[in-house]
Amino acid sequence: MALETNNLNFGYKCYNLAKKLWPINRSLTGVGVRQTLSIIKNIIPSITVHEIRSGEHVFDWTIPNEWIVREAWIKGPNGEKILDYMENNLHLVGYSTPVYQKLDLIELKNKIFSLPKQRNAIPYVTSYYKESWGFCMSQEQLENLPKGRYEVYIDSEFKSGSLTYGEVKIKGRSQKEVLISTYICHPSMANNELSGPVIATFITEFLQKQKDLRYSYRIIFVPETIGAIAYIKRNLKELRKNVVAGFVLTCMGDEGSFSFMPSKYGNTYADKIAKHVLKNLQPTFKEYTFLDRGSDERQYCSPGVDLPVVSIMKSKYGEYAEYHTSLDNLEFITENGLAQSFDAIMLAIQAIEVDCVLTATKKCEPFLTKYDLYSTTSIKNSTTNSKRIVDILTYSDGSNTLIDIAELIHKPVWELYNDVNLLAKYKLISLSSEKK
Amino acid sequence: MALETNNLNFGYKCYNLAKKLWPINRSLTGVGVRQTLSIIKNIIPSITVHEIRSGEHVFDWTIPNEWIVREAWIKGPNGEKILDYMENNLHLVGYSTPVYQKLDLIELKNKIFSLPKQRNAIPYVTSYYKESWGFCMSQEQLENLPKGRYEVYIDSEFKSGSLTYGEVKIKGRSQKEVLISTYICHPSMANNELSGPVIATFITEFLQKQKDLRYSYRIIFVPETIGAIAYIKRNLKELRKNVVAGFVLTCMGDEGSFSFMPSKYGNTYADKIAKHVLKNLQPTFKEYTFLDRGSDERQYCSPGVDLPVVSIMKSKYGEYAEYHTSLDNLEFITENGLAQSFDAIMLAIQAIEVDCVLTATKKCEPFLTKYDLYSTTSIKNSTTNSKRIVDILTYSDGSNTLIDIAELIHKPVWELYNDVNLLAKYKLISLSSEKK
Amino acid sequence: MALETNNLNFGYKCYNLAKKLWPINRSLTGVGVRQTLSIIKNIIPSITVHEIRSGEHVFDWTIPNEWIVREAWIKGPNGEKILDYMENNLHLVGYSTPVYQKLDLIELKNKIFSLPKQRNAIPYVTSYYKESWGFCMSQEQLENLPKGRYEVYIDSEFKSGSLTYGEVKIKGRSQKEVLISTYICHPSMANNELSGPVIATFITEFLQKQKDLRYSYRIIFVPETIGAIAYIKRNLKELRKNVVAGFVLTCMGDEGSFSFMPSKYGNTYADKIAKHVLKNLQPTFKEYTFLDRGSDERQYCSPGVDLPVVSIMKSKYGEYAEYHTSLDNLEFITENGLAQSFDAIMLAIQAIEVDCVLTATKKCEPFLTKYDLYSTTSIKNSTTNSKRIVDILTYSDGSNTLIDIAELIHKPVWELYNDVNLLAKYKLISLSSEKK
């Protein structure tokens, strides 16, 4: 009982991978996604990269064309580039159509997005499903633009191609599986989104090293929304049959408190496990409701899909000032923040791996002295380590799993693993997967 | 989806009807009830007036004789009338037996009811089921009565006749029905009770103008307690088979906050609808428990009857100082107060009419852009009107009705009608009456 | 409906019995237990005394040998006894092995238990399951021991014999039974434990005087833990088949507030009854959780036993300073404290005896006037005693027992007995043991 860890510095490894993935101009489709998956493949050679052709129908949606950008800039009245997409890929509105145009400052301003209240931040803007073009810059820069004639150039192209996603399957003893889903469609932003894929990568590496997993694992790296929808379309039957718990990995790298996004009704096995972990790691974690959702749980929990999927996050998307701006950068996430999230996910996975129904084999309390589980001289206020043992036994009546028992006796489940091993060793409990 | 309203001034209409009904000396039986129903019949010609003979057994009760009053007064020592029932019908204790008697002030006082703490109010007193007579006056008047010899006269009579009630049935597509019950047995008091029958009258008029009602409606005007019991006796089988929700209309005309009287266990469909309406109209509404009950829900929720009946009120009977006194007069109720209650009942009825199970027709979130339901350029903090649409869809999984969804997404159900119409128009949801 | 009481001074009787039982050196086995049961037999001649042979296996445990103590003392450097077990049986560690030894003060101190924070208290210490010997004294005495050579002597012996317990069965109309369990294995301490057996004794005497009990009763006096386990081993099938509610009687004699120890999940019939009684006797009673357990509910609620057993206590074991010391003496308990606990248990038993499903025989409210259950002249704010009657009737719909109704209408169940008798007399309700 318990997964093998070897105290590797996961925070450090995650952060380093984020640095590597940072410069890539990811979008829904195209070369950015492929480059990202290719770097991840160095760590997880067994990842399978799938392509879905542009134009294919996935439920109510259609896979879009690939968006290709070669160049994008604005030149000022004096002919110098005042903005270049090569310097920061947030400068260009995602899925901008090609354009070459000269226009006055006042016209230019209609095509520029900025954040008046965050004067030094470049916003992240996309226009996936309506033909349009535009640029993003900081409010400071915008306000300092001199009057005059500007030249804008976007050398972009839409081409029938495909949508790309990565998938890893790890076989456990059971066909039942845990789903881990993260997304790879945002350009240079760190918490949302690089924290998700880097943790997913090293969770995968970690799981692949385990010798004996109970559950199978499915880890997917998809473009948000359309990618998740496409993935569900292709795998719905399997997912509905097998997934016992799922986690959308996003916003996991900053130093903020933990946040929790429940499933649609907040009552699935994934909710129970995740809340238990967070409550015991950080009692003050922030619990959102499904009305606050915003990532791929929107698809996983939608009618007819209804998977038990939740998110364990640090600062939640939409809830921190740097979100969806150039300030969500490599300084906003830390090794420590990533390591904390990694641990939370690992504790959740471990809890799922070892969870089972406990049934005491003997009636009444056992004679603990026999098993060296009891201090032998009873004096008022003596501290014995047998209380927790007996508490576990008491609720091992066949109606509770280990996580239920941890909840009932108000202990982190990971503090019980050693006791449960002892109890099983002495045959004082039997373990099974079914409640009586 | 939604009933047709045409912005009529229901508050004004209700108040005017209350003025007309005010002077009538209503009691459990007799001419007062008949006059009242006759005035209502001018507005609702289809009302059926039923008579139940005196002496008929209704469950544990017996229909009483009719009480007829021709004259009732007290003359003072100097021979002048100091109290005349013709001036205010509250002066006479309800169901007083006939009497002619001369008596000293001290004896007279034994036959007079007053309210020491509300010095200017005439109390409302009845003695339905024990032979007795008496008068009511203000404490002020009582204290100023000079010593001396008084003459009291009550020309009343008990005659075998009948108990009268009115009933309107409106046919909808379904045999299932909504019950609206109000009472017409109190003499000149406005909030309790004229507010109930006047709102019931115009709700009925309003419903009769609808072209396509889903539910059938049964609106009854009965004397309180004995009338409700008699009605239940005659209609129990039908009521139990068909009533999906019922409302006792009482105390609906003042300017106080809304009050809510639940059904016996507070868990019926009527409770759910009424609480949803009140919570969204006035979050601070006062919620009573069934132990505070006091009107005909006592019968509708009694063992063996067990109908889903609640009350939406303004200031509840027994909870406002003017209750059951001459101060509960036409100044205590207002057009505005009546209109607010009218609206609450209409919103409840409308919620029931349109409530149904919603099931999304597509898996995953639909591509809202296609239906012009989504803003197309995504920027942080942009305000889209699509959030509510998606929230509705998310919970349209066949396990919720519209009112459930409104509760789940914390919106008044009436704010969802337009969205639901759009979703149905685009065939993104299907509507049915059964949960899956 | 209601048990016959005759206002005897139970507090006085209980206290007096405690005084008689006080000096006896009780332990798990042996003469102390037998003397105790023999004194109780004077009050309850029908008590059966059972013996279970040493060495017999009971579930995971083995019945220990009898422990016999003839003498035990310490002599100081000057040869005088500085501690004698005859003066206070707490001076000797329970189940001490025989010893005769001379030793220096510093060595002696290793064999002495004291409580540094309760300087004048002799602690209660046992070493049932590990061979050992020792003495207990107050911290004050310990600190004043002069240096020098000491002589210790324990003339004890372990002998194959038996474990002794007492059992009384009282037959009611039903085979279903109420279990009352208390323990008799502690030497001279008053609240924990004499309060339990003395109340159990007089509850038994009281029940035996009843002419017509609905339930059967099983009252047992066992050594704690091993005795309860042995008893369960011998009677499990019967207990599981018949026990509807059980009470462990312990810590019932002091002047503190009431405490409540629930069953394992806090959801049994015994929990419902006991909480109702305590809430209505003392709304501020202290409710513990099963994690705070410490007496024989540990066995009764263990997996595979799972009986509905709770404890109604005054100051709970482990929660008062005098617990398990010489200060838990006859001054710590009072007649008044014992009487309060006696009453609480009696109210609980009475509630169980009379609990049944109530079903109104008539639809709608009955015509209470007919039965003289209603005040006949209705005036605002009049105080009628009929409200409670009607509240009872309202919830007498076949889905509630009397205790449910008491909870629903927020009244102590014992305030309803008279009303229920009246309602039954007038055939307005029928009583049965099954919910519809």
Inter-chain residue contact C380 with B115, CB threshold 8 Å: yes
Lowest-confidence pick of A235-244, B379-388, C16-25, C235-244:
B379-388
> By the CB < 8 Å criterion, does A188 face chain C?
no
Q: Which of C149, C140, C11, C6 is nearest to C75 (CA)?
A: C149
- The closest alpha carbon to A170, from A239, A231, A218, A237, belongs to A218
DSSP E strands, C111-196: 112-113, 125-126, 135-136, 149-159, 162-170, 177-183
Tokens of B391: 């929230």
Nearest to B397 among A59, A132, A306 (CB): A306
What digits encode the pLDDT tens for the residues A66-122?
999 999 999 999 999 999 999 999 999 999 999 999 999 999 999 999 999 999 999
Residue numbers in C near B290 (CB within 8 A): 394
Could you tell me where the DSSP H helices lie in C144-225? 195-208
| Cβ neighbour number for residue C335 with a 10 Å cutoff | 17
What residues in A contact C229, CB-CB < 8 Å? Answer: 364-365
Summarize the confidence of residues A408-422 as an average pLDDT. Answer: 94
A414 within 8 A of A405, measured Cβ to Cβ: no
Q: Of B302, B309, B317, B320, which to mutate for an interface test with C (greatest number of C Cβ within 10 Å)? A: B302
DSSP C56-82: -EETTEEPPPEEEEEEEEEE-TTS-EE
- Could you give the CA distance from residue B228 to residue B293 in angstroms, rounded to a whole number? 15
> Which region, left, alpha or beta, applies to residue B387 given φ > 0 means left and ψ of -120 to 50 means alpha?
alpha
* Pair B203, B219: CB distance under 8 Å: yes
Over residues C169-190, mean pLDDT:
97
- Residue count (chain A): 436
Q: Does B393 touch chain A (CB under 8 A)?
A: yes
For β-strands A243-249 and A177-183, DSSP reports them as parallel
Choose the weakest-confidence range: A157-161, C64-68, C371-375: C371-375
Q: Is A117 on the interface with B (CB under 8 A)?
A: no
Residues of A in contact with C291 (CB under 8 A): 391, 409-410
User: What would the 3-class secondary structure string for A53-121 be?
Assistant: ECCCEECCEECCCEEEEEEEEEECCCCCEEEECCCCHHHECECCCCEEEEEEHHHHHCCEECCCCCCCC
Optimal mutation site among B362, B377, B397, interface A, most CBs of chain A within 10 A? B377
- The reply to whether residue B129 touches residue C376, judged by beta carbons under 8 angstroms, is yes
Cα separation values, C125 from C94, C115, C122, C249, Å: 6, 11, 9, 22
Q: Are A301 and A290 in contact (CB under 8 A)?
A: yes
Chains in contact with chain B (at least 3 beta-carbon pairs closer than 8 A): A, C
How confident is residue A129, by pLDDT bands cut at 50, 70 and 90? confident
Q: What are the chain B neighbours of C370 within 8 Å (beta carbons)?
A: 60
- SS3 label, residue C391: helix
Nearest CA in chain C to A397: C303
Interface residue A379 vs chain C (CB under 8 A): yes
Whole-number Å distance between alpha carbons of B396 and B182: 37
**How many residues are recorded in chain B?**
436
Looking at residue C386, what is its pLDDT?
83
C-alpha to C-alpha distance for A254 and A258, rounded to whole angstroms: 10
- Cβ distance of C318 and A380 shorter than 8 Å: yes
Chain A CB contacts of B376 under 8 Å are 127, 129-130, 132
The C-alpha atoms of residue B71 and residue B100 are separated, in whole angstroms, by: 11
Q: Does B124 touch chain C (CB under 8 A)?
A: yes
Q: In chain B, which residues have their Cβ closer than 8 Å to the Cβ of A232?
A: 363-364
Closest residue in chain B to residue C389, using alpha carbons only: B291
CA C62-C66-C69 angle, to 5 degrees, is: 145
| Cα dihedral: C290, C296, C300, C304 (round 10) | 90
Residue B375, pLDDT > 70, answer no
Closest C-alpha among C268, C267, C250 to residue C259: C250
Mean pLDDT across chain B, nearest whole number? 94
Closest CA of chain C from A426, distance in Å = 12
- Please tell me the distance in Å from B93's CA to the nearest CA on chain C: 9
> Measured between CA atoms, how close is A54 to chain B, in angstroms?
16
pTM of the model: 0.93
Tokens describing residue A97 = 């159509």
Strand order in the sheet with A309-313: A48-53, A162-170, A216-222, A177-183, A243-249, A309-313, A259-261, A286-287
pLDDT above 70 as % of chain A: 95
| Contact status, residue B316 vs residue B251, Cβ threshold 8 Å | yes
Helix (H/G/I), strand (E/B), else coil: B53 = strand
pLDDT for the residue C384: 44
Q: Sorting pLDDT into bands at 50, 70 and 90, what band is B73?
A: very high
Say whether pLDDT at A252 is over 70: yes
Q: What integer pLDDT is reported at residue A117 of this predicted model?
A: 95
- B257 CA: distance to closest CA in chain C (Å): 22
Average pLDDT over residues B241-258: 98
Q: Which residues of B touch A61 (CB under 8 A)?
A: 364, 367
Length of chain C in terms of residues written = 436
3-class SS of residue C345: helix
| Beta bridge partner(s), residue B182 | B221, B249
Contacts of C112 (CB under 8 A, 6+ apart): C134, C135, C136, C137, C142
Give the closest residue to B296 by CA, choosing from C40, C365, C66. C365
How far apart CA B210 and CA B213 sit, in angstroms, is 6
pLDDT recorded at residue A383: 42
The pLDDT value recorded for residue A376 is 47
Dihedral sign for Cα atoms in the order C71, C76, C80, C85: negative
Contacts of A379 in chain C (CB under 8 A): 113, 123, 125, 324
A–B interface: beta-carbon pairs under 8 A: 85
Say what the pLDDT of residue B378 is: 52
List C residues 343-362 in contact with B (Cβ-Cβ < 8 A): 359-360, 362
Assigned token pair, C301: 């609620």
pLDDT of residue C2: 55
- Kind and range of the H or E run holding B140: helix B139-143
Question: Which range is least confidently modeled, B6-10, B196-200, C296-300, C400-404?
Answer: B6-10
pLDDT, tens only, A338-386: 999 999 999 999 999 999 999 999 999 999 888 877 654 555 544 446 8
Contact with chain A for residue C426, Cβ under 8 A: no
> Residue C135 pLDDT more than 70?
yes
Residue of A nearest to C266 (CA): A408
Contacts of C360 in chain B (CB under 8 A): 302-304
**Are B365 and A299 in contact (CB < 8 Å)?**
yes
What pLDDT does residue C186 have? Answer: 96
Alpha carbon distance A98, A297 (integer Å): 34
Q: Distance between CA atoms of C285 and C276, rounded to whole angstroms?
A: 11
Residue C107: strand, helix, or coil? helix
Mean per-residue pLDDT, A157-178: 97
Distance of CA A418 to the CA centre of its chain: 30
What tokens were used for A85?
Answer: 């997409």
**Amino acid in the structure at residue B337:** G
pLDDT tens digits, residue range A285-317? Answer: 999 999 999 999 999 999 999 999 999 999 999
Q: Give me the mean pLDDT over the C371-385 stretch.
A: 56
B41-49 average pLDDT score: 98
* Mean predicted lDDT score pLDDT of chain A: 94
C379 and chain B in contact, CB less than 8 A: yes
Phi, psi dihedrals of residue C434, rounded to the nearest 5°: -115, 135
Model confidence pLDDT, tens digit, residues B166-223: 999 999 999 999 999 999 999 999 999 999 999 999 999 999 999 999 999 999 999 9
Q: So what's the pLDDT on residue C370?
A: 84
**Which among C233, C238, C220, C170 is positioned nearest to C3, based on CA atoms?**
C170
Write down the pLDDT at residue C76. 96
Q: Chain A, 34-63: which have a CB under 8 Å from a chain B CB?
A: 59-62
Find, among A305, A250, A240, A248, the residue nearest to A271 by Cα: A248
What pLDDT does A382 receive? 44
Check CB contact of C436 with chain B, cutoff 8 Å: no
- Whether residue C318 contacts residue C342, with contact meaning beta carbons closer than 8 Å, is answered with no
Q: How far is B321 from chain A (nearest CA, A)?
A: 44
Confidence of residue C409 (pLDDT cuts 50, 70, 90): very high
pLDDT at B379: 55
B251-302 pLDDT, tens per residue? 999 999 999 999 999 999 999 999 999 999 999 999 999 999 999 999 999 9
Residues of C (214-243) whose Cβ lies below 8 Å from A: 225, 228-229, 232-233, 236
Question: pLDDT for C7-38, tens place per residue?
Answer: 568 999 999 999 999 999 999 999 999 999 99
Q: What is the pLDDT of residue C382?
A: 44
pLDDT digits (tens, 9 = 90+) for B11-24: 999 999 999 999 99
Cα separations in angstroms, C108 against A405, C91, C105, C347, C396? 45, 14, 5, 51, 70
Pick from B383, B385, B393, B306: nearest CA to B358: B393
- Statement: residue C167 has pLDDT above 50: yes
Does the pLDDT at position A1 exceed 70?
no
